[in-house]
Structure 1
Amino acid sequence: MDSSKLILLVHTVKHLRFKQIYYRLYYLIRNKFFKKEYTKPLNRELDALIWKDSFLHTDSYKKDNSFVFLNLSRDFGDAIDWNYDKYGKLWTYNLNYFDFLNQEHISAEEGLALISDYIEKDAILKDGKEPYPISLRGFNWVKFLSRNTISNPRINEVLSDHYETLYNNVEYHLMGNHVLENGFSLFFGAYYLKDECLYTKARHILKNELTEQTLNDGAHFERSPMYHQIILHRLLDCIQLAQLNAWKDEVLPFLKEKALKMLSWLQEVTFSNGTIPMVNDSAYGIAPNSRQLFEYAKSLGLQWPKGQLSDCGYRMYSQGNYELFVDVGKVGPDYQPGHAHSDTFSFELYVGGTPVIVDTGTSTYEKNALRQQERETAAHNTVKIGNYEQTQVWGGFRVAKRAKITHLEESENQIEATHDGYKKLGVRHTRKFLTHASSIEINDSLNKEVNEQQISFFHFHPNIKNIEVGQSQVKLTELGVNIIFGEGVSKIDLCHYHYAMGFNKTEKAQKIAVSFQKSLRTQIVLPNSPNN
């Protein structure tokens, strides 16, 4: 390992909790020298659970052993390879999740045939035996079996074995949303198997992790709107499970309390057209959308108050005909920033419910150059100095040195913050947003001049085609939006980039790179403004 990689590793590991390091070593040693098969005999009949689907997954199983995940399709012909890895680990995971059991177009017979095929190959499974896919597969098997009132002793036995594996391999070495998924799934497994041990562990995990991972304003602490939607969906599922099946309900009030907070937060960050900001590894086509979740919550009798964004570091300003989403917070939880990007002070702008200035999004989780590029500063609507990164993202899901907010001041229609991500250069970057009825002002300033090129990036949605670039202004002619640069601008370059439409799916779009020295004033003048 070269010295630069070692330094990155040191600045990454120093933020981990002792618990993460302990369990990484514990699982490594235990599985190497004391590996065991987890089997727990089921010597009883299981009563069927009551279950009704709130909404179904989009079709990923296309009949005759053909699947589509993450915009990549595979026809397995006569035999499904559940370990298929040519499309990367996330695709393999999706194959092993079994979401397709709960899609609209699949029969009970087809679902049972797929489960039976999986069970026959249980001994040779690889990624599917990891705790995370076990968790998601557990949800889907329990839902499918319960909805179709199927009680199959062999399936129940395998499901019990998988839950025994999960019980003994909770992902404490990773923490974050992985442990929550483990806990939610153990909750489902406990109800299905009527297993007190699983229930006790699930209750412990959910109480501890939801308490820690739900911020005061209701945000999930990894600050990814997509993962927030996913976790809220699981939470609502657990609430419905407990409400429909009288067994254990002492944790139900706690689950409802957290769901209400998460619903309030989600409503605040959802744009008027129903989409979410594509920040921190959010991607299209993965999570249930906000409308589906709100309707699901209402069907469970949940009514949530209006929220106020605070601890998450995000702000949403809605004035006149626009919505402005701003990031002025920390990159994520110190010990688990795996979905964080180098995007401090980035923003998204919607005009008339239409995306105009956007986050470039996420199209891959593979540890490659594209993944690195999509996480770096230049892929976001913020300022980059020279070849330096605000936050050192690396290794697919790792973060070394990270930008910290050193100053934050806000009033009703404006916010100003400073971060120290460029402290190696002795530079602090301050950005101020001022919102008016028909215009937005963004003021960038550095505390000192440096012998580097400073660039402020603005990424436009692929639908923004006609962009006129002048010496100190940019016109989006179709929308009637005018971006005027005042003090400090030295050059405006119009470039292309690839906007993530989902995993493994990008579309060519345009961006501007605005060079400046020590300060830059940007005014975004919107339609119907007297200055336009």
Structure 2
Amino acid sequence: MNVLALPRTFRTLKHLHWSQLTMRAWRTAQRRLLRPKRLALDAAVHVNPQAFPTPPEFNASCPRGEELVEMLDRGELRLLNQTCSFGSGKWDWRLGQVDEHRLWTVTLHYHQWMYELAKVAVQPSAVGSNAMRLWTESLTDWLESCDYDQPGTQPLAWNSYAIATRLGWSIRSWRLLSGASIQLDPSLENRWRDCLYRQATHLSRNIEWDLRANHLLRDAVGLAWAGRFFDTDRSRRWLETAQRIAVQQAKEQVLDDGSHFELSPFYHLEVMDDWLSLAILLPHAECRQVMCKTWKRSAEYAAWLCHPDGKVAQFNDGAAIDAAATLAHGKAIGEGTSITPCQGGRHFPDSGVAVWRGEPWTIFWDVGDVGPDCQPGHAQADTLNIECSFKGQRLFVDPGCYSYDNNENRRYDRATRSHNTVCVDGTDSSEVWHIFRVGRRARPSDVQIHFDDTGLTGTATHDGYRHLPGSPTHRRQIQMDRDQKILISDSITGTGEHEVEGGWLLDPRWTATAVADGWTLSSGEETLQLKISSQQTLQLAMQPSPYHPDYGVEIQTIRLSWQYSGSLPLHVRCEVSP
């Protein structure tokens, strides 16, 4: 380890629970010192013949139907908006250490695409027959190449989160094919069943207490699927474990205002699907009731975090996905939530999000922590960041999240200077590093939020730059007036000479034209004036910048920025008006 990085490592580790540290040390020792051994089966593995309720299908990250069959015939597969070579006959499972397309690779091992393939395979047609052939070949090859004791399977293929997710899609596939009276080769069926059982056994022994958060909850979902599917003493213990984790994590992960404690709207929706699955799969009525109440509280929060286009804000990691499908899933547990009635203002003090939804403006303001201290892996250095829409169309956007590789895209997405906030001395307001790590964290303070019939008024401060010479502090004030004008004032106090930068990432549908004191913004018939003013001399610039509205998607857009070099304090006023 680099000695110079030791202080940063300490700042990262000091927030963790001791259980996380000891579990991570044990996993590291296991991985480096112990050779994988084939997991033993019980004397007899029985599948539960009784039907059990199945959760609704969630968002597919792959093609469907005939398109999926055609892609696989070409030796390609599209996951998370990226098409990669996958092979045919001898499939490329990307085993071993993977440094590029890590999220694509682990998604490959979720096997959701195999479930989509099975849905085509049950159709009585030539395409269905071809899909059945591809499904059989791919499963057979996966069982041979990716079983537990095969080289290179540990990092991603037998990652606990991947197993937990794969168990759900695999059991769906089993039940789908059985229900359609598809006769599999008995040898393949037995190998598949036994492998599923070994996966669940491995998951039960490797629950992600080191990572916690959404990973721990997904582990519970995987155990619940396996506990309902198999009929052994061990599988019944899996169900008990799933229930304990579910109830415990409902208390830990869902804050009092209904938000998920990782503070990412995207992962909030992901976790909602897990609460829903647990509400359906778990056998005990009291536990199911807890899951239903947790889902409903989460749904009320999600309904507020949507832009007029129906897609969630992109604070922290994740995609700007439509919330309607997730909210509609509530019908499966007798809950229905509409995203349309949320109008007016709402401050969520636990998540630290202030929301105004009205005409013509919709505004989301991040005035909270970057995430839970024990697991801020999906945090970005975006304290006091703002997203907004004008007349139903996004205007200022978050840079988003392209992938989870340790590369420039990841660093760009997490950096303060990529967000709609203020950066001092080129330093991130929170010390984000590597792929998921965070050292020093910005802490908001003096948060005051008020709403009236004109909109949102508020102030907030954070201390993310106090460690720099001169102890700079960023304070932001926002005000909406009756003329549909938004005023955003940034004050950076402290002493000494500093480089300060702020700016706004435009939605690609807007164009910007430079004028004397800012820019004219245009999209279709709509025009806005963005004016920047300060008593100090500022340099204004238009910079080509990437925008990542979804995983694997990059769109070029414009960042409108101001820069200052000189002594503090600095006061900058931004005015946006029709």
| Same fold per superposition (TM over 0.5) | yes
**1:488 has 2:535 as partner:** yes
Deviations 1:129-151 (A, max 9, x none): 11111111011111222233369
Q: Find the counterpart in structure 2 of residue 51 from structure 1.
A: 54
Q: Compute the displacement of 1:455 (Å).
A: 1.4
Q: Compute the displacement of 1:30 (Å).
A: 4.2
d(CA) in 1 for partners of 2:284, 2:514:
63
Q: Compute the displacement of 1:309 (Å).
A: 2.3
Q: Compute the displacement of 1:308 (Å).
A: 5.9
Report if the CA contact (8 A) 1:268-1:309 is conserved: no
Which amino acid counterpart does residue 118 of structure 1 have in structure 2?
A: W
Q: Compute the displacement of 1:324 (Å).
A: 0.7
Q: Find the counterpart in structure 1 of residue 546 from structure 2.
A: 498
Q: Find the counterpart in structure 1 of residue 125 from structure 2.
A: none
Q: 1:106-121 residue pairs with structure 2 within 5 A? A: 106-108=120-122, 109=132, 110-121=134-145
d(CA) in 2 for partners of 1:56, 1:397:
24
Report if the CA contact (8 A) 1:278-1:361 is conserved: yes
Classify the secondary structure of the residue corresponding to 2:249: helix
Report if the CA contact (8 A) 1:271-1:353 is conserved: yes
1:295 pairs, out of 303, 328, 333, with: 328
Report if the CA contact (8 A) 2:425-2:499 is conserved: yes
Cα 1:54–1:27 change in 2 (3 A) is: closer
Classify the secondary structure of the residue corresponding to 1:25: helix
Report if the CA contact (8 A) 1:416-1:433 is conserved: yes
Q: Find the counterpart in structure 2 of residue 132 from structure 1.
A: 161
Cα 1:24–1:175 change in 2 (3 A) is: same
Which amino acid counterpart does residue 29 of structure 1 have in structure 2?
A: A
Q: Find the counterpart in structure 1 of residue 350 from structure 2.
A: 311
2:257 pairs, out of 217, 220, 234, with: 217
Which region of structure 1 is more displaced relative to structure 2, 157-166 or 515-524? 515-524
Q: Compute the displacement of 1:349 (Å).
A: 1.2
d(CA) in 1 for partners of 2:432, 2:226:
36
Q: Compute the displacement of 1:56 (Å).
A: 5.9
d(CA) in 2 for partners of 1:56, 1:215:
25
Report if the CA contact (8 A) 1:476-1:482 is conserved: yes
Cα 1:67–1:279 change in 2 (3 A) is: same
Q: Compute the displacement of 1:177 (Å).
A: 1.1
Cα 1:374–1:54 change in 2 (3 A) is: closer
Report if the CA contact (8 A) 1:72-1:504 is conserved: no
d(CA) in 2 for partners of 1:340, 1:52:
29
Q: Compute the displacement of 1:409 (Å).
A: 1.3
Q: Find the counterpart in structure 2 of residue 268 from structure 1.
A: 304
**1:391 has 2:438 as partner:** no
Classify the secondary structure of the residue corresponding to 2:141: helix
Q: Compute the displacement of 1:299 (Å).
A: 4.1
Q: Find the counterpart in structure 1 of residue 446 from structure 2.
A: 407
Deviations 1:389-428 (A, max 9, x none): 2111101111111111122112112121110011023121
Which amino acid counterpart does residue 193 of structure 1 have in structure 2?
A: F
Deviations 1:155-181 (A, max 9, x none): 222111100000000111111111111
Classify the secondary structure of the residue corresponding to 2:497: coil
Q: 1:39-438 residue pairs with structure 2 within 5 A? A: 39-41=40-42, 42-47=44-49, 48-51=51-54, 53-54=56-57, 57=60, 59-60=62-63, 61=68, 62-64=71-73, 65-70=75-80, 71-84=82-95, 85=98, 87-103=100-116, 106-108=120-122, 109=132, 110-121=134-145, 122=147, 123-124=149-150, 125-126=153-154, 127-149=156-178, 152-194=189-231, 195-241=235-281, 247-284=283-320, 289-303=322-336, 309-412=348-451, 413-425=456-468, 426-437=471-482, 438=484
Which amino acid counterpart does residue 440 of structure 1 have in structure 2?
A: I
Deviations 1:15-74 (A, max 9, x none): 111011110122233452486443332343431545374456254443335311231322
Report if the CA contact (8 A) 1:56-1:103 is conserved: no
Q: Find the counterpart in structure 2 of residue 462 from structure 1.
A: 508
Classify the secondary structure of the residue corresponding to 1:423: coil
d(CA) in 2 for partners of 1:410, 1:54:
39
2:491 pairs, out of 445, 459, 470, with: 445
Cα 1:147–1:488 change in 2 (3 A) is: farther
d(CA) in 1 for partners of 2:30, 2:533:
62
Which amino acid counterpart does residue 461 of structure 2 have in structure 1?
A: T
d(CA) in 2 for partners of 1:422, 1:116:
55
d(CA) in 2 for partners of 1:226, 1:341:
13
Q: Compute the displacement of 1:451 (Å).
A: 0.6
Which amino acid counterpart does residue 324 of structure 2 have in structure 1?
A: R
Q: How many residues align?
A: 518
Which amino acid counterpart does residue 185 of structure 1 have in structure 2?
A: G
Cα 1:376–1:95 change in 2 (3 A) is: same
Classify the secondary structure of the residue corresponding to 1:90: helix
Report if the CA contact (8 A) 1:327-1:347 is conserved: yes
Which amino acid counterpart does residue 259 of structure 1 have in structure 2?
A: W
Q: Find the counterpart in structure 2 of residue 18 from structure 1.
A: 18
d(CA) in 1 for partners of 2:55, 2:380:
37
Q: Compute the displacement of 1:4 (Å).
A: 3.1
d(CA) in 1 for partners of 2:212, 2:301:
22
Q: Compute the displacement of 1:357 (Å).
A: 0.8
Which amino acid counterpart does residue 117 of structure 1 have in structure 2?
A: D
Q: Find the counterpart in structure 2 of residue 530 from structure 1.
A: none
Cα 1:251–1:162 change in 2 (3 A) is: same
Classify the secondary structure of the residue corresponding to 1:325: strand
Q: Compute the displacement of 1:432 (Å).
A: 1.0
d(CA) in 2 for partners of 1:148, 1:435:
57
Deviations 1:286-307 (A, max 9, x none): x6x3111121113431145978
Deviations 1:474-530 (A, max 9, x none): 21033311112233362211111111143333121111111356111111113xxxx
Classify the secondary structure of the residue corresponding to 1:414: strand
Which region of structure 1 is more displaced relative to structure 2, 111-120 or 269-278? 111-120
d(CA) in 2 for partners of 1:78, 1:130:
25
**1:471 has 2:516 as partner:** yes
Normalization by structure 2: what TM-score?
A: 0.84
Q: Compute the displacement of 1:260 (Å).
A: 0.4
Classify the secondary structure of the residue corresponding to 2:534: coil
Q: Compute the displacement of 1:384 (Å).
A: 0.8
d(CA) in 2 for partners of 1:211, 1:513:
42
Classify the secondary structure of the residue corresponding to 1:278: coil
d(CA) in 2 for partners of 1:308, 1:470:
35
Which region of structure 1 is more displaced relative to structure 2, 115-124 or 253-262? 115-124
Cα 1:78–1:35 change in 2 (3 A) is: closer
Cα 1:63–1:385 change in 2 (3 A) is: same
Report if the CA contact (8 A) 1:405-1:417 is conserved: yes
Give unpaired runs (5+ residues) of structure 1.
527-532
d(CA) in 1 for partners of 2:420, 2:206:
40
Q: Find the counterpart in structure 2 of residue 529 from structure 1.
A: none
Report if the CA contact (8 A) 1:419-1:430 is conserved: yes
Cα 1:29–1:487 change in 2 (3 A) is: closer
d(CA) in 2 for partners of 1:492, 1:44:
69
